[in-house]
Structure 1
Amino acid sequence: MENFKRGRFEWQMLELPDGITTSNGNWYHITRDGIEKYVPGLLKEKPLEQIIQEADAWVKSSNGLALMLYFILVYATVDALWAFIISLGVYFLWYFNTGVFVNVISTPIARLLNKDGFIYTVSGVFLIGISLNDLIAGVGISVEFNALWYGLGLFFLFKVGLLSLLIQFVRNKFFDKPKVPKPDRVLNMLLIRYGMKHGILTGKIEDMEKELIRIANYHKGKKS
């Protein structure tokens, strides 16, 4: 399902009888027909592929957001250690509550933060700038050199996904799995937001949320 063209990763999705999976490794326990029943008429306004790709971007948005925040803080002359701590704090807050922040207006930003080219380019520019401290000092910006090592560490934690893998390991080892997986919660909120935008929802949000939970549990029950 993964497609690489000229060395560049291209996002793809695959519709299956019991859900939708993507090349980012996310699984959504709802089908095209389920979405049509959940938010009638939405797929006439927005292609399914675009909705799922946007949901994927929101699922991973904590990575790019926290990393960019770190670079902004250190270039704003915040102490590197404090910038590191704040960035981690924002990451955990966003990671565990992504669904709360999902909205249509900010979706293009979430998609941008999920683009490898953007993250690699911006991170490279910021890290090189830190290493050339004398040069950026000439324009009135003073960044501690140890910010470079904190930045590299966060890059591997966030962009490479090491922190996300650690969270999943700890959760699977010591905690019960959530009733509704994160991708389903994010997609749920995105569908509701789009339904509201296009005037499809008419006071049935709570019923729709319960229906999505029912569908997700039904498909998980079939697997087990």
Structure 2
Amino acid sequence: MEGSSTPYIDTPYGLLTEGGRWYHVTEKDVEEYAGTVLDHVPLGQLLRWADTWIDSARTVVVWVLPLMLWGLSVEWAVGGAFVLFTAWASLSPALPSLLAVRAVSMLDHVLAQALYYVLAMSAVAAAETYGALGAGLLGFVLLRWGVLEWAIGHVVRPLRQSLYPLPVADQVLRGLIVRVALKHRLSLPQVDDITKNILDNLDSHQETDTDAS
């Protein structure tokens, strides 16, 4: 790890971010196959964006849930939040737009979310819709603690595996690299080799885990 500001550790099996997420590609691989991209966006920033986008379903639902509770019945709002979370978590790895990633990064601040919920739930309480108030407060806690993500993961993981050729973290990182290249009109003739290296590193990591157990 190059300095305390770099949010990852480079290992023989891939990159481990400070949030505990594995990317099955090494720093050397990225520099070899997408070095021109790193001239515009450092690898540490790409990984921050990728981590943020992978968790974006939580962020989006945190901000949308109070609006649903204000305009819909509690049952419809909660059901809509579940559907939105599942759909976003399943489909978003294919759509890591740079603009959207920056927007989600701003919306992911805990203090901004907490202030938003104080204001939103105060309005709900003033309207004396206490069922919506309870659902909003409980929803915020479940979303921020990752409980909803864990519960819905049993549905989302098989969907992701059927939709994408790579593990979701690698899928998002690869997508961001491609989008930075498109933005700056860079050529990435070896982009398919990144995919091959990811799969090779994933296989090596899995074999090592099997031998260790």
Task: Please state which band the TM-score falls in when normalised by the shorter chain.
Answer: 0.7 to 0.9
Q: Secondary structure at the match of 2:15?
A: strand
Q: Identify which of 146, 154, 170 aligns with 2:139.
A: 154
Note the residue ranges of structure 2 that are not aligned, 5 or more in a row: none
CA contact (8 A) 2:37 2:181 kept: yes
Deviations 1:112-159 (A, max 9, x none): 23222222221222123222327xxxxxxxxx3211111122213221
User: What residue is the counterpart of 1:63 in the other structure?
Assistant: 58
Tell me, in whole angstroms, the C-alpha distance in 2 between the residues paired with 1:63 and 1:222: 32
Note the residue ranges of structure 1 that are not aligned, 5 or more in a row: 2-9, 135-143
Tell me, in whole angstroms, the C-alpha distance in 2 between the residues paired with 1:45 and 1:175: 35
Indicate yes or no: 2:73 matched with 1:79: yes
Measured after TM superposition, the shift of residue 12 of structure 1 is: 3.5
Normalization by structure 2: what TM-score?
0.81
Indicate yes or no: 2:56 matched with 1:30: no
Indicate yes or no: 2:115 matched with 1:130: no
Tell me, in whole angstroms, the C-alpha distance in 2 between the residues paired with 1:222 and 1:177: 22
Number of corresponding residues? 203
The RMSD of aligned alpha carbons is 3.0
CA contact (8 A) 1:71 1:126 kept: yes
Greater RCO structure (CA 8 Å; 6+ sep): 2
Structure 1 residues 195, 145: closer, same or farther in 2, change over 3 A? same
Normalization by structure 1: what TM-score?
0.77
Structure 1 residues 50, 162: closer, same or farther in 2, change over 3 A? same
CA contact (8 A) 1:188 1:212 kept: no
Matches within 5 A, 1:61-210: 61-75=56-70, 77-133=71-127, 144-168=129-153, 170=154, 178=161, 180-201=166-187, 207-208=192-193, 210=195
Structure 1 residues 59, 176: closer, same or farther in 2, change over 3 A? closer
Runs of 4+ in 1 over 6 A off after TM superposition: 174-177
Measured after TM superposition, the shift of residue 204 of structure 1 is: 6.3
